[in-house]
Structures are given as C-alpha cells and as structure tokens.
A and B are shown apart, each in its own frame.
Chain A
Amino acid sequence: MKKLNKPCRISQLSDKIAKPLLFGMALTAFSITVLIAFFIFQQGLPVLGEYGIWNILTGKSWRPTEGIYGILPMIAGTFYVTFLALAIGVPFGLATAVFLAELATEKTARIIRPAIELLAGIPSVIYGLFGMVVINEAMRFIEREILAGVLPPEYRWGYSILSGGMVLAIMILPTIINISEDAIRAVPRSYKEGALALGSSHIQTILQVILPSAKSGIISAVILAMGRALGETMALIMVIGNVPMLPRHGILSLFAPAATLTGTIALEMGYAGPEHRAALFMIGVVLFCIIALLNSFAMAATRRGVGK
C-alpha cells in the first residue's frame, strides 16, 4: 500500500512544484530581456536627448573627442555589409539547399552536410582571420593592380565593405542552407509528382512549384540570416577597416573602408570617457530598435506564411 501511495504523492508534489518553476523560469527570461533593454536605454537615452535624435541618426561625422556623435556612417556601414551579405549569401545558400534537397545523391549530401554544420560552429574571430589573409589580400591586389586607375587613394588597403560583405555572406550560409533545406524537404511529395506528371522538367518543378511552396520557410531563413549579419561584430572589425566615414563614390564605395554599429561599440568602449561611453550605449539603443523592428517583420512574415 505504502509503495503504491508514495510515487503518487511525489508526482502530485512535482506537479505542484514544476508548474510554478517553469513559469518562474519563463518569467526570468522575459525579465532579462526587459532588464537589458532598460539598462541600455537608461545609459544611452540621455545622449539622444542632449544632442537630438535626428542630429545623431543623420550626423555624418563621428568624432567623440570633439563631442560630435553622428552615427549615419555606422548605420550605412552596417546596412551595406548586411545587404551585400544577403545579396551574395541568399542565392548561394538557396542554390545549395536546392541541390542538397533535390539533386544530390545521398552519398554527396553526406559529404557536404557535415561541412556546412562545421561552418556553423566556427567562431567568428576565425572568419575574421580568414577574411584578413584571404579576402582582404585578394581585395588589396584588385584595388592596387586592377582598379588602381579608378579608385580614390584611400580605397587601397583591402579593408572594405565588399570584404565585410563576403565574410558575412559565408557566415550566414549555414543558417540559410539549413533552414531552406528543411523548408524544401517539407514540401509535400505530391506537389512534385503533380508537376512532373504534367510534363514539367525537374528544374521547372523546383522553380515554379517547390520553391514557391517553401516560401515562408525561406523567408524565415533570410530574416534569421539578416539578424545574424546585423549583430556580427568580431569578424567585421577584422576586415572592414573601422573608418566611420560615409562612402561617397557610387558603386566604387564597395571598396571603401567603413565601420559598423556593433564594431564601433566593441572597439571604443575600452577607452571611452563618460560621454563617449554614453554615446556608445546610444548606438546600442539604435541597434536594439533595429533588431526589434526586424523581429516584428519576421513574425508578421511567418504568420502570413502560416495563414496561407
């Protein structure tokens, strides 16, 4: 009798404890988000107030020693590299995902997939090193030997938006490949059979039936990748040059050195005086808002995908 009763009481008890415990943990996670937001805003908002949000967001120079805090160059730098990374990484990643899900033999996939998993696990500082010795060297060669005639002199060091975009493109590949491949594999086989039975070629089937059916998953992949790209700090610091200047040479600006929002915070926090420090927090506020905006887009996009 006793033996029968005991586990029963334990399970009752554990139910009583487990629920509040789980709730408590969820609440903690929520509170931490709120706390982070609170402290960043608390530290950064005074500067925003003092210099005016518009002046800061559209200010073209960042000279903390002189009390000039325009972050437009960093916003531009961040968006340029992110956009480039997506422009390179999304087609590449999507093509790889299609290949793995639709075309590769099991044997080939077994070789490629672990390599992609590995790519996802490499620390970003290693990507930075790779960028410095491979991509930047190549860029420097191109800038000095091939495009020397057309590039302004300050664009000759290999540190550039394009280098940053390429390094980031590689870094977001695993995200895009893995999530898109899952989305493609989740497309019902019957769609594919239906299309082929109508006389579509395999490629037509992929482009016109499979990819559109996997759309919402692919959009999630792109948005997650964008989040990763926006937040990336270390690898970009090592390849982008960290020059907070607005590039202004049209398409040639691809070769311009630049700075990112995250990189500036990481590089300057160590030696910043009080106001400079507050200004760096203010960059944090801006980043926070950008990411929050992006997340709400992502949610809206996924919801629309589910509703369909």
Chain B
Amino acid sequence: MPEKNNKIITENLNFYYGKFQALKDINIKIGEKKVTAFIGPSGCGKSTFLRTLNRMNDLLGEVRIEGKVLIDDSDIYRSDVDVVTLRKKMGMVFQSPNPFPMSIFENVAYGPKIHGIKNKNTLQEIVEKSLKQAFLWDEVKDDLNKNALSLSGGQQQRLCIARVLAVEPEVLLMDEPTSALDPISTLRIEELIQDLKKEYTIVIVTHNMQQAARISDYTAFFLNGEMVEYDRTENIFTKPKDKRTEDYITGRFG
C-alpha cells in the first residue's frame, strides 16, 4: 500500500509452528524510511511475523513457511540467499535487552568485528558513532570497558540499539523494545526512533497503543494470525474501517 518505495513486501505469507498456523495469508507493503507499528493482542503473531523478516524463525525446529517475503524486491527465502548478509541488513532489537556479558565497547564492536573489521581505530570510531546515534555516548564514554550487564535496563536497551546500528543495517526490527523499561527510558527510545527513521526503515511491535500513535507512520493490526487492518496510523486510530480494530484500540477487548 503505502509509498512508491516499498522496502518489505510479503505475499500470501503463511507460517506454521508444527501443525499450528501462526500467520494467515499476510500481504503487506512496508515503506522505506517509515516507521511501521504492529499492534494486536498477545499471541496474535506479531513477533512471529517480525522474525520471518530476518529469518530468525529458521532457528526453530518444526516450522514451515509458505508465500513470499521480498526485501528490496528479492525473495529472502530463496535457497541461495545468504542468511548472514540478510540478518546484517535487517537489524533486530529484542523485547528484553540482551547485551552480551562483555564490556560496552566489546558489545558494540562485536558486529563490525565478525563482519571483518579489524583496525582498532576504525572500530573505535564505529563504537563512538553508534553510541552517539543511540544517545548513550555521554553516559558511558568515560568507561567503555565497564561490563555491559552493569548498565540500567534502559541503557542496556540503547546499547543493544547501538550494537545493531554498528553493523549498518537498513531495516530495524524492534520487538517491544520498551516493554521492560520505565517511562523515561521509554521516552528516550521513542525519541531515538524518531531520529533514526531519517535513515532506517523501522518496524516496531508494541503493546502500547499510545506509543504506536506517537511514533509510527503506518500501523498494522493483527488478530489470531491475520492482519485485520493496515493503514496510515492516524486512520487506524481515528477512523478504523474494521469493527475488530475499533474494538481493540478503544480497549473493548484484548
């Protein structure tokens, strides 16, 4: 639907955990350099869908996928696709902050290192740039060798965002990135997202309807594995077309 430039397109996407069908016939076009929010009650398949976009579901044993996921018009489930390149391009931020038990520096430098950057100065620059982008630099610049696990939850989540930015992805997939955070940290991350959308295509799963309304350009409402409605965010929240969407956003169920 949205723009001329679609970064992600899915066509008749079905996803199964064993016999259980978690996604039903999803067709969506996600615009480049837009913030797209996925909302819907717990268990409706938002995370599952997000994880089909960087093939994180490949890690699970008994899963099956049908249909197409096109990123920059090429099918990411074709057998010749290099998953490493794909995941580098599709950065993912998880629901609970998951920094590695290493120093702050090592966390951010991890991605560039595994992708072949060895030069110390280059790494140093990348780390600084990424931490600045994630608005964490000022808080940690004096002690980059501190263990990342000693940071607060909000700082850890911004570190995880910095860690993703360091590999220069094109898309940010964020699965409820603020659900474990206090209001102030949440606000900082939301500001960060506003800032990042200049350069990145952002897909964010959220349980917080105000958050979706505040930060996203487009919103998709999911229910029981189906995408019920997908539209500009202001339309979803002011004049939803589907009765179920209206019920959900007005808090009448879920």
Q: Please give the residue numbers on chain A whose beta carbons come within 8 Å of chain B beta carbons, in ascending order.
A: 188, 190-191, 193-201, 204, 208-209, 212-213, 308
Contact = CB atoms under 8 A, between A and B. Distances in A.
Given A198-B164, A308-B147, A188 B98 contact: yes
A196 B88 contact: no
Nearest to B149: A308
Contact of A204 (B56, B98, B114): B114
A304 B102 CA distance: 15
Contacts of A204: 114
Contacts, number: 60
B88 A190 contact: no
A137 B111 CA distance: 51
B33 interface: no
Contacts of B200: none
5 contacts: A190-B98, A191-B100, A194-B94, A199-B84, A199-B87
A190 to B, nearest CB: 4
A213 B98 CA distance: 13
A121 to B, nearest CB: 32
Interface in B157-171: 160, 163-164, 167
A201 B84 contact: yes
Is the interface on chain B under 10, 10 to 19, 20 to 34, or 35 or more residues? Answer: 20 to 34
Closest 6 CB pairs of A and B: A199-B88, A190-B98, A197-B92, A198-B111, A199-B87, A194-B98
B115 interface: yes
A191 B96 CA distance: 11
A199 B167 contact: yes
A197 B56 contact: yes
Contacts of A199: 84-85, 87-88, 111, 114-115, 167
A213 B101 contact: yes
A208 B56 contact: no
A199 B116 CA distance: 12
B110 interface: yes
Contacts of B56: 193, 196-197
A191 B147 CA distance: 15
A190 B87 contact: no
B167 A198 contact: yes
B59 interface: yes
A interface, by DSSP: helix, strand, loop or mixed? Answer: helix
Given A193-B94, A197-B87, A198-B114, 14 more contacts: A190-B94, A191-B101, A193-B59, A196-B59, A197-B54, A197-B56, A197-B94, A198-B111, A199-B85, A199-B88, A200-B84, A200-B114, A204-B114, A208-B114
Given A193-B56, A208-B110, A308-B147, A198 B87 contact: yes
Residue in A194, A201, A204, A213 whose Cβ sees the most chain B Cβ within 10 Å: A194
Interface in B88-126: 88, 91-92, 94, 96, 98-102, 110-111, 114-115
A165 B94 CA distance: 47
Contacts of B164: 197-198
Contacts of A193: 56, 59, 94, 98
A195 B115 contact: no
Contacts of A200: 84, 114
Interface in B31-57: 54, 56
Nearest to A209: B100
A212 B110 CA distance: 13
A208 B101 CA distance: 11
A210 to B, nearest CB: 10
B160 A194 contact: yes
Nearest to A106: B61
Contact of A190 (B85, B96, B110, B167): B96
Interface in B50-76: 54, 56, 59
Contacts of A190: 94, 96, 98
A195 B94 contact: no
A185 to B, nearest CB: 15
B87 A213 contact: no
Contacts of A209: 100, 110
